[in-house]
A = this chain, B = another copy of it.
Amino acid sequence: MVSIYDIAKEVGLSASTVSLVLSGRGEKMRISRETERLILETANRMGYIPNMSARKLRTSKARHIPEIALCWSPTQHSLFLNTFINVLQDMISSGEVREMRFIILPYKNGELEKLESILITNYFNGIVVPPVFQEDIDFLKKTNIQVPVVALFGDIDQYNLVSVDNRKVGKEVAEIFHRHGHHRVGIMQSEEKKPALSVEQRRSSFLNTCQAFKMEAEEIRGNLPGPVHNKVEEGKILAEKMIKDNDIPTALFIQNDLLAIGAISVFSEQGINIPEDMEIIVYGVNDMLEINNPPITSISYPTGEISRECILLMDKALNRPGTKPVRKIIDTRYVFRESCLY
Contacts and interface: CB of A to CB of B under 8 A. Distances in A.
Interface stretch (A156-164, A177-185, A318-326, A327-335): A318-326
Interface in A10-69: 23-24, 40, 43-44, 47-57, 59-60, 62-64, 66-67
Interface residues on A, range: 35 or more
Contacts of A50: 122, 125
A40 B106 CA distance: 33
A60 B24 CA distance: 27
A230 interface: yes
B76 A82 contact: yes
Given A53-B56, A53-B57, A230-B290, A72 B85 contact: yes
A199 to B, nearest CB: 18
A224 interface: no
B64 A52 contact: yes
Interface string A105-140: 111100000000000011111000000000000000
A232 interface: yes
Contacts of A232: 287-288, 290-291
A202 interface: no
A143 interface: no
Contact of A89 (B81, B106, B320): B106
Nearest to A48: B321
Given A72-B85, A103-B103, A103-B104, 15 more contacts: A1-B62, A48-B321, A52-B64, A52-B67, A53-B54, A53-B56, A55-B122, A74-B86, A78-B79, A88-B106, A232-B287, A232-B291, A233-B290, A261-B288, A262-B291
Q: Which 7 A-B pairs have the closest CB atoms?
A: A1-B63, A232-B287, A89-B106, A53-B56, A53-B53, A53-B57, A51-B64
